[in-house]
Structure 1
Amino acid sequence: MAINKEWHRSHRMPLKATREQRVAWHAAHKAACGCRDVPASLRPDVMKLLRSRRKS
């Protein structure tokens, strides 16, 4: 998938982001852009968050 430049400009990863912030950012990124894969270390938590959002 191509990069969504507008989304990236308006959704910067916070400096020294916590794990929760990183998981939330990557979940939003996967939904809006998906120009790269979620890091393996965060993938289970990101997928869990995305599944919980679909159920709501």
Structure 2
Amino acid sequence: MAINKEWHRSHRMPQKATREQRVAWHAAHVAACCCREIPLSIRPDVLKLRESRRKP
């Protein structure tokens, strides 16, 4: 899996990120980079958010 260094530089995870911030960050991350797995603890929420963004 290749890392998108530019995306990572411009999209830092906030320190002490809330669950909502983590979900949003990982949803964007999987679309832009996908260099690692989505953590199991938030995976259902990330997948739900990604699905909701795809539907019109």
TM-score range, shorter chain: over 0.9
1:52 is aligned to 52
Aligned length, in residue pairs? 56
Q: CA deviation at 1:30?
A: 0.3
1:38 is aligned to 38
Unpaired runs of 5+ residues, structure 2, are: none
CA RMSD after TM alignment? 0.5
1:1-56 paired onto structure 2 within 5 Å: 1-56=1-56
Cα shift readout 1:4-56 (whole Å, capped 9, x = no counterpart): 00000000000100000000000000000000000000100000000000003
Q: Which amino acid aligns with 2:25?
A: W
Unpaired runs of 5+ residues, structure 1, are: none
CA distance in 1, matches of 2:3, 2:21: 21
Q: Which amino acid aligns with 1:18?
A: T
Q: Compute the TM-score of the two structures, normalised by the length of structure 2.
A: 0.97
